[in-house]
Structures are given as structure tokens and as C-alpha cells.
Amino acid sequence: MDKGVSFQPLISSIQKVALFETKAKLYLIGSNSKETRFRVLEIDRRAPELTIYENPNELEKGDIRKFVQSRSFTRSISAYGVLGFVQFLEGYYLLLVTKRTRCAFIGKHIIYAIKDTAMIRVNETAGKQMHPLEQRYVKMFTNVDLNSNFYFSYSYDLTHSLQYNLSVPKFVGNRCDIVNDEPLVWQNRTGERMTYAFRGVARERFVWNAFLLRPMCNVVHKDWMLDIIHGFISQSSISIFGRQVYVCLIARRSTRFAGTRFLKRGANFHGDVANEVETEQIVLDGNRMCSFTQLRGSVPSHWSQDVSKMVPKPQIAIDLSDPYGETAGKHYQRLMFHYGAPVVILNLVKTREKRRHECLLSEEMQSTVNYLNQFLPPQFRIRYIEFDMARKSRGKGNVMEKLAKIAETVIQQTGMFYHDDEQSQKQTGIVRVNCVDCLDRTNTAQFAIGKCVLAHQLYDLGFLKERRLEFESDCVTMLENLYEDHGDTLALQYGGSQLVHRIKTYRKTAVWASQGNDIMQTLSRYYSNTFSDTEKQHSINLFLGYYIPSKAEVNKTLHIWDLETDFYIHNSRFDDIRQISSIPLTQWVSPFVMNWLPAAVSDENRVVKELIKIHSNDAEIIDYYSNFHYDYKLTSFEEHIDYQLSHLSRNMIPAFRSNFSPFEPIRRQESTGLKNPSLTGQSSTSSANSSSSDRSDVDSESDEEDKSTKNTAPSSSNNSSRAEDPVTLSSMFPMTNDIYGFEIKMPKRADMLKYEQYAEMNRICSATDGGTQDTVLKPYNRYSQMPQGGGLSVKNNEIVVGNANVNRDIDSDVAIPMVSEKNRAIYEKYCQLKDTIMTNYECDPLILKEMVGDKMQRRIWIHQNYRVRSRLPMRQSMVPVVPQVASDSIDRAHANSTEALSGVRVLIKSYLTK
């Protein structure tokens, strides 16, 4: 693309909403952040269906004031956006975002988290009795907590990655065909820089209110459509010697085949897998941006677990046989379409078990990948990596070291996205991480990949000399906390509890006190899976629109809580799928996608809704600076995102430290009283590993594994041994040679004597007695009170040590420079100017002409005439002029005599300071 053409996303003009309610109508008044542009929606409350009318024109503030004053409203609500409309058995409900908070920013794009919402009934029943099941559906709908882990932005598309958002638009319009239509070619032949504003198309897979926005589509202005995502967003900063580098973690939870832990397993017939989350790690440094995208999701096959029996781990069952890998093929083709090739699969499921449980999934997945790879070119084949993480953590092996090697291999194959003003490189391919639940082990593996990626990102930005980061450094600690929060949030959404096996558990740095927390999280997850997951699954199906209650069929069909299974809800086109297709099964990747590999088809063929040419970069629709900074708005420090980021990073940094680099390991003090006493012959990490779900798998390991791990304790890693080092005086107060590269020592006697010579010269040359010529220079005797010392004095222009017994081990003495008689006479002639000019306000013209020239003589004559006219003392105007001019004359007179010049300057400075 031509560098003279740039593209900027449109900023939504609806950032503030005011709802005014009457008995007959609802009025929604939307405005931009500065409240200079307004739009009005009018909703009829008496109509049986949803009737929305929008004023096609934008209004001004005065028009809105008259509009509000001309009507009487029963109540009003202030909001920040419209989430959409929903209907159950009676009328419609309006959902509004009433509270928001800044949680992150990408460039000048602000990301908000929803903190509170409001649900307003639109249609009035007019005395009619409400359906008895209406409130039950409302309560089930509100079980999806919109006040936590939902995010939106007015200018940034959160449903796509940073690489996609910075790609060039190629097609315009929702009805375009990227296979048959010709793409746009951007060439700037005019020589002038051209800017286009565009409105992007959101990826509906990650839009959680897509079903709620359907009643508004093609009815209202596009700025009213506010897309929200569900998952996790958090941002922190790295202070690299005062320079802030921001790290943002974005997790997008898929709406397809979404549900809870045990009720959604495997995949549906469309290739949508359960527990699918796209995680993007973004590093920002001004205009330079780096990002890396990875994916987690269930094993793409038809399998489930029987939850009718109340056991901690139900038995895994393969429900349907898929010998040709049709379901997995659809899933992998979608990954190639959006992310490119290669697709790297990191399977963390157990492979060796005494009782076959998880290994069923490993065998199914590996056989499917081997079959599908037969029909792909070698360079585009699926890369399958198998790593039994649970078994490795029980032995003496280092899990994080093995994951680091795998992560390095993955990055070399897929690359990462980098963008600045001059160059850009793209990520081609995706790493897909999975275990059985896609929670604990998956989150640790994603952190290991993210740690390796962060080293590459900081290296490309120029902050690291090599692509490597050490544990226990501030940078890695910050990233570990981000992924811990990331894993806890997703685990709460899927499993009903936080992580059971944390990153510290697999790093083997977890303390004994964490065992109690692991047990409580296991019990909480077990209770949630047993008693509340069914209701939560119904709420998700109702919220996402997979189940739509109908009043006409309410007496003919079962309600959502009466359904035995939601199989046909998530496989709505099951009859179409069963029909025989004309495309051969060996062609599971379409030729169009194959032609674009290894690049992603979606990135190279971006589709936007509309494209507008901008004639000024200060246009309001793309003015991100004004949208980011509110100069007129008063906010507290706690609400400011920079304040939150600084406090977040401050919690990760020790209070006292000697090494200020965020990339060097820090000795962190940990309480030794919390260490696990070795009562069972195992360390604290092995006992923590054996809690929760892994406890039930002890008997499922092979006999060989039991013999190898019996009565053995895993060796502590370098990180754990570093934390157990005793605190000593040298560790708290290290030597300057260890920190700064030099050591403070006592100075040598020769250096002290040399320093005394220079100090004595300065004292003698600067000390005077009233400014007279008969000044007596009294030598300063520092060693007068010392038995072996001797004072310093000046004799015949030489510094002499008073005590002859002192050992003079000075390499070279410094003598006062000599001043010739001729130069002394010139200086005495200059000194005569003081009495004639300062006292009598007169000066011999010959002296002035000889020393300073005619220019100074004319200046004094002017000042003398000015003194007569104004009757002001001449001293005020002459004092600041004469010394400078006299000094300049000395410089011109003695430019050829460097020896005399140094001595005269010292005497002049000492005389003028008086």
C-alpha cells in the first residue's frame, strides 16, 4: 500500500445517552463526548411491537434544550450507551450502560469496562395481566452479570486483533463477496497525503450483545450500535528507567457453543468448540506496537462427560465417531481463514494412564490431525505438539523450562505482529492450547508462551540485548500477575471458581498456605458444577439468543428449563449438515483459503461498512487526541487510567531495592514460617499439585510412574532457592562495586597532598584584606595540630611544605605562573581607572584610547552628557560597564602572552569580587 494513504477508524458520535420517559413514549437523546452533536430516538410504548423513529438530522444544544423544556417527563436516566432490546413473552426491554470505568487504552483509543446497567420496560401492558412466566425469564436473563467482565470502546474494534485493525480495507459494504469481487487498490498519484475514515465490521463471534442489537439493525444510525465483548482486559506498565512501556492483555470469549465447564464439551457440527477464548498480548511504546495472538479451546470432536453422577471427575465418552474429521476440519479451516498457517496445537492432555480417561482425547485428536494433514502441503500442515504437563509436574522435570522451549519453537514458526511508522511485520499462524477443561494447565502454558513473546517484543522495541527474560524480575512478575488474573476470571466464568493449579504451582514456588486455598477452590468448583451450572447454561442460551421464548408456542413446546438437552439449540442447521455435499471430504480447506496461505484471508481481505475521505486531520470524527484528553473535565486521580497503572505496577515492585532494572531478578523476601514442613516426604509444590482434580488421578498413573515418583521430592528450582536464601547485611546493603562497578576506598596520601596544593592556591588567590595592595597572605596550616603534619606556604611563587619531615610522594608539583614586569605595569595602569572613573567620573582620553579604543570613549561621553541632563549619578550606569570592557581590553592586549594572561585573570577576578 502507498504510504501516502492512511486509514483511521470513526469515533462514535453517541457516547452519552439521556433517557426521558413518558407514559406514551420513550425518548433517547444521544450526544458525543463534548455534547455538541445530538441525535434523538423516539420509541412508541403503546404499540404491540417495537416501533423506533429516529430524527435523520443532527441537532444542536439549543434545539435539545427547547425539546426537553416543551415536554413533561416522568423520569430521566443518564447512560453511556445502548446495549439493545430483548423480548420474552410480553413486551420489549431496553438495556442501557449506566456506569463505566476506564480499564485500558491502545494508542489514543480508550477501553471501558461496564460497571452497571439498567433494564427499562418499553411496552406498557395497559392494565393487562402479565404472563406468569415473564418474571422467571427476566430473572434468568439477568443471571448473566453485565456488570463484570464486559468491555466496549467507542473507537476501537475489540472483536478483532490489533493486526486486523491496522490492516488496509479492501472491500466496502456488508454485501460484498471477497471471492468474486475485485479488491480496492490504494495508490496515491497526487503526491498529497490522503486520509480515509472507515467504519469496521465487528466479528460477530465475539459480540455478546449481537442478538440484542438485531431489533436496531437497519433502523437507527450506526453510531447507536455499541458492541461489547466478554472475557478479560487488563493493562499494566513497565518502567524502563523512567520510560513507560504498556502491556495489555485482552481475552475474547466466543459466543458460539458457549457454556459452562461440564455441560459444554467438544464441538458442534459447525466446528465451534467449547471454552474458546482468543487471548492477545499487546505491547505499546508510543507509535510502536507489538501483538501476539493465541487461542484456547476444547478438543474439536464430539465428546462429553456424564454429570448425572455426583463425582469429581465424570468419565469421558466419545459420543460420535468422525472418521473423516469433518468437524475438526471445519474448525481448523476457520483458524486458517482468520489467522493463517501454520496452526500449532499444544495438547496438554495426559497420554499415559493406568485407567483410560484423558488419553482418549489425545488419541482422538492426534489421529484426526494425522488424517487431515494428508491433504495439505507440507509447509501448511498442522503442527501437533504433545506435552503431558500433569505428569511432568509430579516428577523431577522442570515444567516451565520445557514450556519455554516449546514457546520458542512456536514463535519461530508463527512470528508476531510489529508496527511502526516505517515498517510492519505480521503474525502468520496461531498457537492453539488445550487440556481437558482449558483452565489451569492451559493458563500456565499460555503464560509461558506470553513470557517468551514479551522477550521478543521488548527486543524488537530495542529494550533488551537478547531475547530472554528472567523469573523474579519486575517485568516477568507483572506479566505473571496479568495471566493469573486472566486465568482466574475465565475460570470463574466457566467453572465457578478461581484457578486451582496456579502458575506458582507449576513453577514450584507455591507456599504451604496455598494448599488451603486450592482445596476451597476445588470445593467451590465442584459445588458450582453440580448445582448451579444448569441454570447458568440456560441463562447463557437465553442471553445469546439460542433459545427464543415465544408466546404463541408457549403451550405447545417445552420451556428452556424443561429441555433434556440443548443439542438442537447449538446445532440448529443439523438437517442441512447431514445432506451430502458436492465438495469432496479431502478438500476440507477451500481453494480460496489455500491460495492466501500462509497469510490470513481476513487480514488480507478486510471488509468495512463505509469509507469516508477526510480533508482535515482535525476532523471531529477522527480527532482521537480530543477524545482521549478531557481538558475541561474534573476527575479524581483514582479514576484516571495512568494512576491505576502506576499503582498496579507499584504493588509488584519491592519497596527497597538496589537494582532498578525491570529485567534483572530481584531477591524477594518471603516468610519462612509459611513453608510446608516435609511431613510426607514431598515438598510444598508436590502437595499443592496433588490437590483438587489431580488427586483423583494418582491411581490412574502407570506403574512405572508410581515407582519413579514414590518417596521422591522434586528438586527446587533456582527461583525457589533464591527465595529461601537468608537475609544478611551484605544482601540488604550490597557493595558499590556490585551495583555501580566501582568501590569506595580511602584516598592515597599523594592524592591528598595534591588536593591540598590546589585548595591552598584557591585560598591564597581569592583571600584579600580590604582590597589594598599591602595584603598579607597568611598561609593556612592544616597540619598545625597534627604531630607529623606540615603547613603549606607560598615562597617565591612556589608552594612549600612547612615541615621538612613530611614525605613528599607527589608525582609533580604545580607552581604559580610567573607574571612579567611589563604585564604588571599594564595591570597597575588599569587599576588607576578605578579612582578616576568610579570616584571622579573622569578618565584620561589617552588611556582609554590606548586600552579600550574610541568606542568606549564615545560611550563614556554619552553617559557623562546623560548624567548632566538627567542629574542621575554616573555610578549607576558605569559600574556594570567598565569591568567587562576592561576585561575585554586585557584579553586583546595579552592575547599573545598566555603565561601572563592566567595570572592577571586570577588577580582581576579577586579584585573585582571585592
Concatenated DSSP letters of 809-843: --S---PPPP--HHHHHHHHHHHHHIIIIIITS--
* C-alpha angle 43-47-48 in degrees, rounded to nearest 5: 125
Residue 201's pLDDT band (cuts 50, 70, 90): very high
424-425 vs 417-419, strand pairing mode: antiparallel
Inter-residue contact 348 to 387 (CB < 8 Å): yes
The secondary structure of residue 473, as a DSSP letter, is B
Over 70: is that where the pLDDT of 148 sits?
yes
Residue 654's pLDDT band (cuts 50, 70, 90): low
CA dist 17 and 39 (Å) reads 9
Residue 16's pLDDT band (cuts 50, 70, 90): very high
- In Å, how far are 815, 904, 913 from 910, measured between CA atoms? 19, 10, 5
Residue 379's pLDDT band (cuts 50, 70, 90): very high
Do 87 and 213 have their domain in common? yes
Question: Which of 599, 624, 644 corresponds to the end of one domain?
Answer: 599
Do 415 and 351 have their domain in common? yes
302-320, pLDDT tens digit by residue? 999 887 776 777 889 999 9
pLDDT computed for residue 789 by the predictor: 45
Over 60: is that where the pLDDT of 449 sits?
yes
pLDDT computed for residue 38 by the predictor: 95
- 197 in any annotated domain: yes
What angle in degrees, to the nearest 10, is found between the helix axes of 898-913 and 749-766?
60
Mean pLDDT of 252-267: 92
3-class state of residue 338 by DSSP: helix
- 87 in any annotated domain: yes
pLDDT computed for residue 662 by the predictor: 86
Inter-residue contact 852 to 829 (CB < 8 Å): no
pLDDT computed for residue 341 by the predictor: 93
DSSP states of 500-523? SS-HHHHHT---TTHHHHHHHHHH
Do 344 and 446 have their domain in common? yes
Mean pLDDT of 404-429: 94
Q: Which domain holds residue 502?
A: 228-599
Residue 398's pLDDT band (cuts 50, 70, 90): confident
Mean pLDDT of 35-58: 91
- 318 in any annotated domain: yes
Residues 278-281: contacts with CB within 8 Å, 24+ apart?
Answer: 278/161, 278/206, 278/251, 278/252, 278/254, 279/249, 279/250, 279/251, 279/252, 279/446, 279/486, 280/161, 280/162, 280/249, 280/250, 280/251, 280/252, 281/247, 281/248, 281/249, 281/450, 281/453, 281/454, 281/457
pLDDT computed for residue 461 by the predictor: 93
Inter-residue contact 25 to 42 (CB < 8 Å): yes
Mean pLDDT of 566-576: 76
Residue 255: all three cell numbers together = 459466543
Do 74 and 139 have their domain in common? yes
3-class state of residue 747 by DSSP: coil
876-892, pLDDT tens digit by residue? 433 333 444 444 544 55
Inter-residue contact 585 to 146 (CB < 8 Å): no
Q: By CB neighbour count within 10 A (0-12 exposed, 13-18 middle, 19+ buried), where does 716 fall?
A: middle
Do 563 and 621 have their domain in common? no
pLDDT computed for residue 158 by the predictor: 96
Over 70: is that where the pLDDT of 301 sits?
yes
Q: By CB neighbour count within 10 A (0-12 exposed, 13-18 middle, 19+ buried), where does 194 fall?
A: middle
Inter-residue contact 722 to 667 (CB < 8 Å): yes
pLDDT computed for residue 660 by the predictor: 77
Per the prediction, the chain carries an average pLDDT of: 79
Over 50: is that where the pLDDT of 842 sits?
yes
Mean pLDDT of 210-237: 94
Buried b (16+ CB within 10 A) or exposed e, 145-160: ebeebbbbbbbbbbbb
Do 212 and 233 have their domain in common? no
pLDDT computed for residue 806 by the predictor: 42
- 733 in any annotated domain: no
Inter-residue contact 113 to 233 (CB < 8 Å): yes
- 756 in any annotated domain: no
pLDDT computed for residue 517 by the predictor: 65
CB atoms within 10 A of CB 428: 20
* Closest CA relative to residue 248, chosen from 644, 638, 624, 600: 644
Do 194 and 263 have their domain in common? no
Residue 647's pLDDT band (cuts 50, 70, 90): low
Q: Which of 148-162, 220-234, 654-668 is predicted with the least confidence, judged by mean pLDDT?
A: 654-668
Q: By CB neighbour count within 10 A (0-12 exposed, 13-18 middle, 19+ buried), where does 883 fall?
A: middle
Inter-residue contact 413 to 421 (CB < 8 Å): no
Inter-residue contact 599 to 428 (CB < 8 Å): yes
CB atoms within 10 A of CB 661: 13
Residue 568's pLDDT band (cuts 50, 70, 90): confident
- For residue 611, the surrounding DSSP H or E stretch is strand 606-614
Q: Which of 388-402, 587-601, 626-640 is predicted with the least confidence, judged by mean pLDDT?
A: 626-640
Task: Report the share of the chain in percent with pLDDT over 90.
Answer: 44
Best-predicted range by mean pLDDT among 355-364, 446-455, 519-528, 547-556?
446-455
Q: Which of 141-150, 218-227, 443-452, 902-911 is predicted with the least confidence, judged by mean pLDDT?
A: 902-911
pLDDT computed for residue 701 by the predictor: 41
Do 594 and 621 have their domain in common? no
Mean pLDDT of 804-829: 66
Higher pLDDT among residues 677 and 592, named by residue: 592
Do 53 and 158 have their domain in common? yes
Inter-residue contact 651 to 462 (CB < 8 Å): no
Specify the pTM. 0.73
Q: Which of 551-555, 565-569, 761-765 is predicted with the least confidence, judged by mean pLDDT?
A: 551-555
Do 169 and 303 have their domain in common? no
Over 60: is that where the pLDDT of 102 sits?
yes
CA dist 114 and 101 (Å) reads 7
DSSP states of 637-687? GGG-HHHHHHHHHHTTS-SS-S---TTSB------GGGSPP-SSSS-HHHH
- 831 in any annotated domain: no
- 814 in any annotated domain: no
Mean pLDDT of 24-45: 92
Inter-residue contact 362 to 347 (CB < 8 Å): yes
454-498, pLDDT tens digit by residue? 999 999 999 999 999 998 888 999 999 999 999 999 999 988 888
Beta partners for 77? 19
513-542, pLDDT tens digit by residue? 555 566 666 766 666 666 678 889 999 999
Inter-residue contact 439 to 251 (CB < 8 Å): no
**Locus of grid cell 571622579:** 840
Residue 705's pLDDT band (cuts 50, 70, 90): very low
Residue 138's pLDDT band (cuts 50, 70, 90): very high
- In Å, how far are 40, 144, 283 from 99, measured between CA atoms? 21, 17, 28
- 473 in any annotated domain: yes
pLDDT computed for residue 783 by the predictor: 44
Do 213 and 300 have their domain in common? no
pLDDT computed for residue 518 by the predictor: 66
Do 209 and 306 have their domain in common? no
Q: Which of 57-71, 333-347, 627-641 is predicted with the least confidence, judged by mean pLDDT?
A: 627-641
Beta partners for 425? 418
Residue 902's pLDDT band (cuts 50, 70, 90): low
pLDDT computed for residue 615 by the predictor: 84
Over 50: is that where the pLDDT of 869 sits?
no
Mean pLDDT of 665-687: 42
Over 50: is that where the pLDDT of 785 sits?
no
Q: What's the domain count of the chain? A: 2
Task: Report the share of the chain in percent with pLDDT over 70.
Answer: 72
Residue 720's pLDDT band (cuts 50, 70, 90): very low
